[in-house]
Amino acid sequence: MAQSFAGPPVDLDDLIPELASLGRRTTLLLPKSGAPGVRESSLGGPMLWPADEPWPYCGQPGHWAWPNEKSPAGTAPMVPVVQLFARDVPQLKFPQGTDVLQLVWCALIHPQDPAGAALPRLYWRREEEVLAGGVLRDIPAPQQGEYDEDFMPRPCTVSPTQVVEYPNWDFSEDLRQTLQPRIEELEERFGLDYTQWACALQNKVGGYPAWNQPPNWPVCERGHRMEHLLSITGEADLDMDMGDLGGIYVFLCRQCPELPYAHRYDC
Ligand SMILES: [Zn+2]
Ligand SMILES: [Zn+2]
């Protein structure tokens, strides 16, 4: 089970004001196994996909599913990972004219990718427009050998819940040294790891990536540091194990009109 996220055990404004000022709003998705509908926000659920737009496939040479490392899968359909409607995540700023966010990935292992895992693709849509043009009825499902269990999300409904998060690793070295003793004191006093109350390694939108490794923020081609859009982690209800990965973080550059995005794996 994902650890519940209770937020700071004390009022940070009093105790660690430097940290309090870095708080960012985050929406935890809190997935539960279920049967979400095509017009519902979900993880691993059916997607509101335009009938006249081909479903995405991945043909990366050499991608494979355990234990068939020596026999790559060929071209395989990608799988639905996240669908979010603006009405369910009011805190997320949707690009003008859109109100649906969709993320798919290839559920195979990718030896050409530094971390060897899923290759997310992000889509922004307008619900009304997709409904007017017709919804794709049969989303192709990968067959045996075309997906790896570790990256295959099961259908889950979500219960978006807003919390405030604080950076896990994203401090300057000076600030880290200043805060360290007070953070450790709190950890001891409440028997809670910093990450349990400050930054959630969970399926979430916004906030801070819960880096297990030192931060590795992507920069777009024009040199803008991207923002953290969402995190996908293998929580128990998602029935997805993600191998040794802590999570897949998706980042977005809003300064560029084409909204480039990038991902990072973390283990
Ligand atoms: Zn692939
Ligand atoms: Zn940019």
Tell me the CA distances in angstroms from 235 to 2, 108, 150, one per residue in order.
6, 19, 11
Give the chain's domain count.
1
Is 2 part of a structural domain of the chain?
no
The alpha carbon of 180 and the centre of ligand 2 are apart by a number of angstroms equal to 33
pTM of the model: 0.93
User: What does the block give as tokens for 2?
Assistant: 């994902």
- Residue 31 in any domain: the answer is yes
Domain containing 198 equals: 12-266
Residue 98 within any structural domain of the chain: yes
Question: Measured between alpha carbons, how far is 45 from 83 in angstroms, rounded to an integer?
Answer: 8
In angstroms, what is the span from residue 194 Cα to ligand 1's centroid? Answer: 36
Nearest Cα to Cα of residue 150 among 250, 245, 262, 249: 245
Q: Where are the beta strands (DSSP E) in the chain?
A: 24-28, 32-33, 42-43, 57-58, 76-77, 79-85, 100-105, 121-125, 156-157, 161-165, 204-206, 227-232, 247-252, 261-266
Query: How far is the C-alpha of 255 from the C-alpha of 260, rounded, in Å?
Result: 9
Is the pLDDT at 3 greater than 60? The verdict is no
Inside any domain, residue 6: no
Instruction: Compute, in angstroms, the gap from residue 11 CA to the centroid of ligand 2.
Output: 36
CA distance 102 to 116: 22
Dist. CA 263 → ligand 2 center (Å):
14
pLDDT in tens, 39-93: 999 999 999 999 999 999 999 999 999 899 899 999 999 999 999 999 999 999 9
Share of the chain above pLDDT 90, in %: 69
In a domain, 46, yes or no: yes
Ligand nearest to the CA of 118: 1
The answer to whether 186 touches 9, Cβ cutoff 8 Å, is: yes
Q: What is the CATH number of the domain that holds 77?
A: 2.30.320.10
Q: Which of 80, 83, 85, 82 is nearest to 98 (CA)?
A: 85
Contacts of 5 (CB under 8 A, 6+ apart): 28, 163, 196, 197, 200, 202
Give, in order, the Cα–Cα distances in Å from 229 to each of 20, 102, 153, 194. 21, 12, 19, 22
Would 122 be classed as within a structural domain? yes
Ligand 2 centroid, distance to 262 Cα (angstroms): 11
CA 37 to ligand 2 centroid distance, Å? 34
102 CA → ligand 1 middle, Å: 18
104 alpha carbon, closest ligand: 1
207-241, pLDDT tens digit by residue? 999 888 889 999 999 999 999 999 998 865 566 66
